[in-house]
C-alpha cells in the first residue's frame, strides 16, 4: 500500500475548476439550470466533505436542492462505521432507481467511506447498475472531471484506487452551518483501533499546513461565523507529519489569538495523545470553548488493550481529572462501545463505574458492529446479542440519569450563550459547552451573545430567560 500523502497542486485544482466551467457551459447551451442533491451520512468529517461537493456543484452551475426527486445529480456521501449505517445507504440507493426512472439523465454518485471498501465497490458494480460513479474520499477533489465524464462519455466511472490519501486546498465550498462552521485540520487516521474501519477507508494521517488553516479561520470570522469546530479523527496528532514544530495545542493558540468575537471547539481528541499542554492551552484562552469530547470506548484496561487504544483506565482517569482541575465547569462528552468481542460481564461493569466516576454531560453509545477486514471482526465473540442489548440499555439508563442530574444543576445559574436559531416558536441558543437552551425572545438576537439564566431542564435540553442585568 502506498503510504505517502499526495499533495494536490494548485494547477490540478484549477484543472478541476475548468471542468466545472465546461459542465456549466453544457447546461447553459441547453438553457437549463440543473439541480443537485447531496445526501450525507456519518460524522462531521463527511458533513465538511459534502460542503466541498456542493461547492464544486455550485461552481458548475447547479442549484443545490433538498431532495433526490427531480435532481440532475444525486450524490450519496456515505459512512461505513457500523453495519446499520451501510444498510441504510444500500436501501436508499436502491430506492433511487425510481427517481432515476422518473427523471431521465439523472446521474447518481456514491462517495465517502463506503466507497473506500473494495467489496462495496464490487457490489455496486454488480448489483446497482443505476449508479453512474463511485469515488473514495481520496478522490473527492476530482469530482468535477468524473461528473463531466458521466455527462459526455455516458460510461460509469470509478475513482477508488487504494491510496494513502490526498490534501487539496482551494476547492470551492457551500457552507450550511450559518453561524457555525467546520474546518478540517487533518485527514485520515494511523491508530488502527481493532474495531474501526476509518484508517482503511480514509488513509494515513495527514495535516493541512497551519497557514492554510489560519487563512480559512480568518475568512470565516470575517464572514460572520462565530463558532468554529476544528475536525480530525485524532486532532491531537496534528502536525506530526509536517515536521514544522507546530502541534495541535500550538495551532489552537494561533487561532485563539486571531482578532474577533468567536469560539473554537474541536473533535476528536484521542486520549492516547491528549496532553496537559493541550488542556492548559484550552484553559488559557477564553476563545477556546470549555468543551471536550474524549472517547473512552471501555472502562476495562483489558478491553482497551484488545481495542489497541494505547491507554488504560487509570491513565484515562488521570487525564480527565487534570482537564477538570484546570477547567472548572468543563463540559465533557465521550464515545463508548458495548459488547466488544470477549467483553465479560465484569468488564462491562467497569465501563459503568467509569461513567459514574467521570459523570459525562452526554455520551454517544454504540453496540459493537464487526467491520470486514478489521482485526476485531475475527475475534471470538461468545456474548449473545440479547445480553449485549441488555448491557446497552443499562448503560443508556445510567447515562440518562446522570445527564438529567447535571442539567438540573444548571437551573438558577446564568450562562453566556450564542443565540443561533429558532425551534417551534422558541429562540435557541448554545452555552459555551454546546448545551441547547430554549428561551422567549426576538429573532433579531440571532448571531449575538446573551446572558441567559436557566429556569428549567430535561435530560436533553435547557429552558431559560434572558438576563440583561
Ligand atoms: N476518531 C474518533 C472516532 C471516530 S468513529 C476517535 O477515535 O475517537 C466514532 C465512534 O464510533 C468511535 O469513537 C466508536 O465509539 C464508534 N465505533 C467505531 N467503530 C465501531 C464499530 N465497529 N462498532 C461500534 N462502534 C464503533
Ligand atoms: Fe477509528 Fe481509532 Fe482512528 Fe478513531 S482513532 S478513527 S476509533 S482507528
Ligand atoms: Fe463514518 Fe467515515 Fe465518519 S466511516 S463516522 S463517515 S470517517
What atom of ligand 3 comes closest to residue 197's alpha carbon? 4
pLDDT tens-digit readout, 62-86: 999 999 999 999 999 999 999 999 9
Range of lowest pLDDT (55-59, 176-180, 225-229, 267-271): 176-180
Quick check: CB of 114 below 6 Å from ligand 3? no
Average pLDDT in the 319-326 region?
98
Q: How far apart are the CA of 308 and the centre of ligand 2, in A? A: 10
The residue assigned the cell 491507554 is 311
Q: How far apart are the first and last CA of the chain?
A: 62
> What's the whole-model pTM score?
0.95
Quick check: CB of 46 below 6 Å from ligand 3? yes
For the chain, percent of residues with pLDDT exceeding 70:
99
The residue assigned the cell 484549477 is 14
Give, using CA atoms, the residue closest to atom 2 of ligand 1: 233
What atom of ligand 2 comes closest to residue 270's alpha carbon? 5
List C-alpha distances in Å: 347 to 188, 270, 339, 343. 30, 21, 10, 6
Q: How far apart are the CA of 283 and the centre of ligand 2, in A? A: 26
pLDDT tens-digit readout, 327-363: 999 999 999 999 999 999 999 999 999 999 999 999 9
The conformation of residue 142, written as its DSSP 8-state character, comes to: G
Nearest residue to 441 via CA among 420, 457, 462: 420
Strand pairing class (63-64; 35-40): parallel
Please give the pLDDT value at position 8.
Answer: 94
Average pLDDT in the 26-43 region?
97
- 146/16 Cα distance (integer angstroms): 10
Please give the pLDDT value at position 222.
Answer: 96
Q: Tell me if 262 sits within 8 A of 228, measured CB to CB.
A: yes
Question: What confidence tier does 237 reach under pLDDT thresholds 50, 70, 90?
Answer: very high
Please give the pLDDT value at position 4.
Answer: 78
Which grid cell sits at 24? 456549466
What is the CB < 6 Å shell around ligand 1? 81-82, 195-196, 198, 233-234, 268, 270, 295, 297, 335, 337, 366, 368-369, 371
Quick check: CB of 374 below 6 Å from ligand 3? no
Q: How far apart are the CA of 234 and the centre of ligand 2, in A? A: 7
- 179/446 Cα distance (integer angstroms): 9
Q: Tell me if 342 sits within 8 A of 381, measured CB to CB.
A: yes
Nearest residue to 367 via CA among 392, 384, 341: 392
Query: Does the pLDDT of residue 285 top 70, yes or no?
Result: yes
Give, using CA atoms, the residue closest to atom 8 of ligand 1: 295
Please give the pLDDT value at position 468.
Answer: 77
- 45/209 Cα distance (integer angstroms): 18
The residue assigned the cell 480527565 is 320
What is the CB < 6 Å shell around ligand 2? 189, 191-193, 196, 198-199, 233-234, 270
Please give the pLDDT value at position 267.
Answer: 96
Q: How far apart are the CA of 335 and the centre of ligand 1, in A? A: 7
Q: How far apart are the CA of 362 and the centre of ligand 2, in A? A: 20
Range of lowest pLDDT (153-157, 216-220, 267-271): 153-157
- 319/316 Cα distance (integer angstroms): 5
What atom of ligand 1 comes closest to residue 367's alpha carbon? 24
Burial class (CB in 10 A: 0-12, 13-18, 19+), 370: middle
Q: How far apart are the CA of 196 and the centre of ligand 1, in A? A: 6
How many C-beta atoms surround the C-beta of residue 119 within 10 A?
Answer: 10
Please give the pLDDT value at position 318.
Answer: 97
Q: How far apart are the CA of 171 and the centre of ligand 3, in A? A: 21
Quick check: CB of 202 below 6 Å from ligand 3? yes
The conformation of residue 63, written as its DSSP 8-state character, comes to: E
Q: How far apart are the CA of 434 and the centre of ligand 1, in A? A: 21
Quick check: CB of 89 below 6 Å from ligand 3? no
Q: How far apart are the CA of 369 and the centre of ligand 1, in A? A: 10
Q: Tell me if 183 sits within 8 A of 216, measured CB to CB.
A: yes
What atom of ligand 3 comes closest to residue 113's alpha carbon? 2
Which parts of 257-359 are beta strand (E)? 263-267, 291-293, 331-338
Nearest residue to 285 via CA among 261, 249, 256: 256
- 40/137 Cα distance (integer angstroms): 13
Average pLDDT in the 438-463 region?
93
Q: Tell me if 36 sits within 8 A of 57, measured CB to CB.
A: yes
Residues 6+ away with beta carbon under 8 Å from 168: 8, 12, 13, 140, 141
Q: How far apart are the CA of 186 and the centre of ligand 3, in A? A: 14
Quick check: CB of 120 below 6 Å from ligand 3? no
- 407/27 Cα distance (integer angstroms): 53
What atom of ligand 1 comes closest to residue 234's alpha carbon? 1
List C-alpha distances in Å: 340 to 133, 190, 344, 458. 35, 21, 9, 31
Quick check: CB of 80 below 6 Å from ligand 3? yes
Quick check: CB of 81 below 6 Å from ligand 3? yes
Please give the pLDDT value at position 39.
Answer: 98
pLDDT tens-digit readout, 174-227: 998 789 999 999 999 999 999 999 999 999 999 999 999 999 999 999 999 999
Q: Which domains does the chain have, with CATH numbers?
A: 6-166 (3.40.50.12160), 182-283 (3.30.750.210), 290-407 (3.30.750.200), 414-466 (2.40.50.140)
- 51/55 Cα distance (integer angstroms): 6
Q: How far apart are the CA of 98 and the centre of ligand 2, in A? A: 37
Q: How far apart are the CA of 334 and the centre of ligand 1, in A? A: 10
Question: What confidence tier does 463 reach under pLDDT thresholds 50, 70, 90?
Answer: very high
Q: How far apart are the CA of 391 and the centre of ligand 1, in A? A: 18
Quick check: CB of 113 below 6 Å from ligand 3? yes
- 141/51 Cα distance (integer angstroms): 12
Give, using CA atoms, the residue closest to atom 4 of ligand 2: 233
- 382/385 Cα distance (integer angstroms): 9
Mean residue pLDDT across the chain:
96
Give the number of the ligand closest to the Cα of residue 82.
Answer: 1
The residue assigned the cell 456521501 is 77
Amino acid at each position: 500500500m502506498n503510504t505517502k500523502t499526495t499533495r494536490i497542486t494548485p494547477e490540478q485544482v484549477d484543472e478541476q475548476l475548468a471542468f466545472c466551467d465546461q459542465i456549466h457551459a453544457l447546461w447553459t447551451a441547453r438553457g437549463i439550470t440543473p439541480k443537485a442533491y447531496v445526501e450525507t451520512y456519518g460524522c462531521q468529517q463527511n458533513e465538511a466533505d459534502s460542503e466541498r461537493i456542493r461547492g464544486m456543484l455550485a461552481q458548475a452551475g447547479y442549484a443545490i436542492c433538498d431532495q433526490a426527486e427531480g435532481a440532475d445529480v444525486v450524490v450519496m456521501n456515505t459512512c461505513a462505521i457500523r453495519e446499520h449505517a451501510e444498510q441504510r445507504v444500500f436501501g436508499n440507493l436502491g430506492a433511487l432507481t425510481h427517481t432515476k426512472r422518473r427523471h431521465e439523465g439523472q446521474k447518481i454518485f456514491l462517495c465517502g467511506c463506503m466507497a473506500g471498501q473494495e467489496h462495496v465497490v464490487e457490489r455496486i458494480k454488480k448489483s446497482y447498475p443505476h449508479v453512474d460513479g463511485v469515488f473514495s474520499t481520496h478522490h473527492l477533489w476530482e469530482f468535477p472531471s468524473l461528473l463531466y465524464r458521466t455527462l459526455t462519455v455516458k460510461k460509469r466511472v470509478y475513482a477508488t484506487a487504494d491510496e494513502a490519501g490526498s490534501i487539496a486546498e482551494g476547492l470551492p465550498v457551500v457552507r450550511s452551518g450559518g453561524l457555525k462552521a467546520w474546518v478540517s485540520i487533518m485527514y485520515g487516521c494511523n491508530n488502527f483501533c481493532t474495531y474501526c474501519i476509518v484508517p482503511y477507508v480514509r488513509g494515513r494521517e495527514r495535516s493541512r499546513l497551519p497557514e492554510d488553516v489560519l487563512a480559512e479561520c480568518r475568512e470565516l470570522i470575517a464572514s460572520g461565523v462565530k463558532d468554529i469546530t476544528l475536525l480530525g479523527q485524532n486532532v491531537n496528532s496534528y502536525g506530526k507529519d509536517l515536521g514544522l514544530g507546530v502541534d495541535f495545542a500550538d495551532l489552537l493558540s494561533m487561532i485563539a489569538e486571531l482578532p474577533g468575537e468567536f469560539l473554537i471547539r474541536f473533535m476528536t481528541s484521542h486520549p492516547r495523545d491528549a496532553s496537559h499542554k493541550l488542556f492548559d492551552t484550552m484553559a488559557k484562552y477564553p476563545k477556546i470553548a470549555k468543551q471536550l469530547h474524549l472517547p473512552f470506548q471501555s472502562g476495562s484496561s483489558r478491553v482497551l488493550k484488545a481495542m489497541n487504544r494505547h491507554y488504560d483506565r487509570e491513565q484515562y482517569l488521570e487525564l480527565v481529572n487534570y482537564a477538570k482541575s484546570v477547567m472548572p465547569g468543563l463540559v465533557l462528552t465521550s464515545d463508548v462501545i458495548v459488547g466488544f468481542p470477549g467483553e465479560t460481564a465484569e468488564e462491562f461493569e467497569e465501563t459503568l463505574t467509569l461513567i459514574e466516576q467521570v459523570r459525562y454531560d452526554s455520551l454517544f453509545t454504540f453496540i459493537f458492529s464487526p467491520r470486514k477486514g478489521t482485526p476485531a471482526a475475527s475475534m471470538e465473540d461468545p456474548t449473545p446479542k440479547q445480553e449485549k442489548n441488555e448491557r446497552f440499555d443499562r448503560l443508556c439508563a445510567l447515562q440518562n440519569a446522570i445527564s438529567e442530574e447535571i442539567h438540573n444543576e444548571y437551573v438558577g445559574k446564568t450562562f453566556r450563550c450564542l443565540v443561533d436559531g429558532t425551534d417551534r416558536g422558541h429562540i435557541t441558543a448554545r452555552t459555551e459547552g454546546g448545551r441547547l437552551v430554549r428561551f422567549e425572545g426576538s429573532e433579531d438576537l440571532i448571531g449575538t451573545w446573551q446572558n441567559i439564566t436557566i429556569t428549567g431542564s430535561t435530560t436533553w435540553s435547557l429552558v431559560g430567560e434572558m438576563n440583561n442585568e
